């Protein structure tokens, strides 16, 4: 019998100053980030021990720190920064990051802008 484990954290909210336009950098806005991780091991399912699992509280804090850090122009770049960092910091074999910018200055009514990056170890 095989088992696949995935960890999802949806809607991490961070106020930040990313964007190409000067007013985006000056005013800032709330970004939301969804994270999906595939751990290298599913051992935590059996042991019930955090030492054998990915600490998703630590993941969320790390994501918030990156997104709330130095401004970047493009969501693509931001999503990739987060993905690469998580791959290096946690025992995961795959990371999928979606960055939402619901207040993007598009000039037309819209629901959300979402950029997704997926990386494998």
Could you list the active site residues?
A: 101
CA 29 from chain center: how many Å?
16
Q: Are 71 and 18 in contact (CB under 8 A)?
A: yes
Token representation of residue 70: 């130095």
Residue 33 CA: distances (Å) to CA of 1, 3, 55, 103:
33, 27, 17, 14
């Amino acid at each position: 019998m095989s088992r696949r484990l995935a960890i999802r954290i949806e809607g991490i909210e961070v106020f930040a100053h990313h964007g190409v336009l000067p007013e985006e950098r000056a005013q800032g806005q709330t970004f939301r980030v969804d994270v999906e991780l595939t751990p290298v091991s599913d051992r935590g399912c059996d042991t019930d021990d955090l030492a054998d699992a990915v600490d998703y509280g630590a993941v969320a804090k790390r994501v918030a720190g990156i997104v709330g850090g130095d401004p970047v122009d493009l969501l693509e770049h931001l999503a990739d920064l987060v993905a690469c960092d998580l791959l290096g910091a946690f025992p995961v074999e795959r990371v999928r990051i979606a960055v939402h910018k619901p207040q993007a200055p598009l000039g037309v009514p819209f629901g959300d802008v979402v950029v997704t990056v997926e990386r494998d170890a």
